[in-house]
Structure 1
Amino acid sequence: MTLRVDIVSDVVCPWCVIGYLQLAKAAAETGTDLEVHWHPFELNPQMAPEGENLREHLAAKYGTTPEDSRAARLRLTELGAALGFAFDYADDMRMVNTFRAHQLIDWAEDQGKAHEMKRALFAAFFTRREDLNDVSVLADVAESLGLDRVAAVAMLEGGERADAVREKQQFWTSKGITGVPAMIFERQYLVTGAQGEETYARILMELSETTPA
């Protein structure tokens, strides 16, 4: 049984990492094949090129206290470790502009590697704390996936994917998507947030019973 899931997310969204990995684990446990399609969403579309300190950013945007921030990071680190993903937070970690990263994913999609690119960018940001607004960093990620580094740099510097990515972002916001992760199963059923393996397993089993093979 193969089920399509469209995931609207940002590459600097930790709950997008958790949610996807919970879903993938549920799929493995239920014997479900997933056809995953990633779609762009920017949590901070007005973020300056130089980015902001992550703790300061969260405090200004959400009113998060230092204690809350430490607790949240610990919880995410523990959840990630249980799912095989390493969050490596640090006090000097920076939130960055992700528009270029989304353009890179869009470019990789034409080469059948959008899924691998998305996961690689998650690791670049959360595990290695790399600047996903830096063209050379993004080119390194592309090259690590066997893609043409020179072509990636040319695409990012030329901005040839910018309009397409903006249109895709606007499509999903026009559908009422205001937070991520947002998962749309079989183009019909919207599930928001990281719901946990048991919930995803139940959703997958229910869909497998009602979706034609």
Structure 2
Amino acid sequence: MIKASLDRLAQVEAIDIQWKSYELRPLNAPPLPPVQEEDYKQRIAAAWPRTRQTAQVNFGVEMIYHRWGVKSRLAHEGAKFAEEKGLGEAYHAAMYKAHFIEDRDFGDLEILADIAEEVGLDRAEFVAAIENHTYAAEVDQDVAQAQAYGIQGVPATVIEGKYMVSGAQPFEALVDIVRQVKEHEAKQTP
């Protein structure tokens, strides 16, 4: 959802969009205790109608209630591969569609390879990069940077390396925020 707002924002403001990795459920994290997990699932389910409506109204996206607990680590490593090959934007768009609209399990390497191939990446090279964890250090660096910013959820947008905006903001809100940041930064620069 945030992608639609950022794409529109890039058409009216001079911005440089850099996608960064963040794992909501890290690959090696211990599972939540059953009571805590059930409580979390119930809170997500309760918020779902509002989330879905916001996606429809603000972003024109018809979302489905997606699978629970998908591990995103491999998808993030795949994103780094796609970015290096010049297909990062296409890969990100395909991943959003796969997750939020089609409910495909992007924790599954075969599904990731299908998506990579769909956007024009070489399947064998993609699989080799994932299996060899070629981009693991880059993903680790992104996650560490997110932790340093205090990010605890997604989406999160960091502007000028120091202003964080939490949540999927509509285009109009992002325009206002970016312009306020630019004005503030201009006043700070002698």
Same fold (TM over 0.5): yes
Aligned positions of 1:27-106 closer than 5 A: 31-46=12-27, 60-61=36-37, 63-64=39-40, 66=42, 68-82=43-57, 83-89=59-65, 93-106=67-80
Give the strand-richer structure, 1 or 2. 1
Contact 1:108–1:117 (CA<8 Å) still a contact in 2? yes
Shift of 1:182: 2.2
Q: Return the alpha-carbon distance in structure 2 between the equivalents of residues 154 and 46 of structure 1.
A: 19
Q: Of residues 99, 104, 109 in structure 2, which corresponds to 1:135? A: 109
Structure-2 residue corresponding to 1:21: 4
Structure-2 residue corresponding to 1:173: 147
- Alpha-carbon spacing, 1:105–1:76, altered in 2? closer, same or farther (3 Å): same
- Structure 2 residue matching 1:159: 3-state secondary structure: coil
- Structure 1 residue matching 2:17: 3-state secondary structure: strand
Aligned positions of 1:6-17 closer than 5 A: 17=1
User: Which portions of structure 1, spanning 4 or more consecutive aligned residues, are displaced by more than 6 angstroms?
Assistant: none
- Structure 2 residue matching 1:86: 3-state secondary structure: coil
Structure-2 residue corresponding to 1:191: 165
Give the helix-richer structure, 1 or 2. 2
* Unaligned stretches of 5+ residues in structure 2: none
Structure-2 residue corresponding to 1:121: 95
**Once the two structures are aligned, what percentage of the paired residues are identical?**
28
Q: Return the alpha-carbon distance in structure 2 between the equivalents of residues 23 and 205 of structure 1.
A: 14
Count matched residues: 184
Contact 2:27–2:73 (CA<8 Å) still a contact in 1? no
Pairing 1:202–2:176 present: yes
- Alpha-carbon spacing, 1:171–1:65, altered in 2? closer, same or farther (3 Å): closer
Q: TM-score, normalised by structure 2?
A: 0.79
Shift of 1:211: 6.8
Amino acid at match of 2:19: W
Contact 1:27–1:33 (CA<8 Å) still a contact in 2? yes
Q: Return the alpha-carbon distance in structure 2 between the equivalents of residues 20 and 45 of structure 1.
A: 22
Shift of 1:125: 1.1
- List per-residue Cα deviations over 1:53-99 (Å, max 9, x = no partner): xxxx8x73472474x54442222222222312221226xx3321110
Structure-2 residue corresponding to 1:10: none
- List per-residue Cα deviations over 1:97-131 (Å, max 9, x = no partner): 11000000011111122222122111111111111
Highest RCO, 1 vs 2 (Cα 8 Å, sep ≥ 6): 1
- Alpha-carbon spacing, 1:114–1:191, altered in 2? closer, same or farther (3 Å): same
Shift of 1:178: 2.9
RMSD of aligned Cα (Å):
3.1
Q: Return the alpha-carbon distance in structure 2 between the equivalents of residues 201 and 119 of structure 1.
A: 21
Shift of 1:196: 3.5
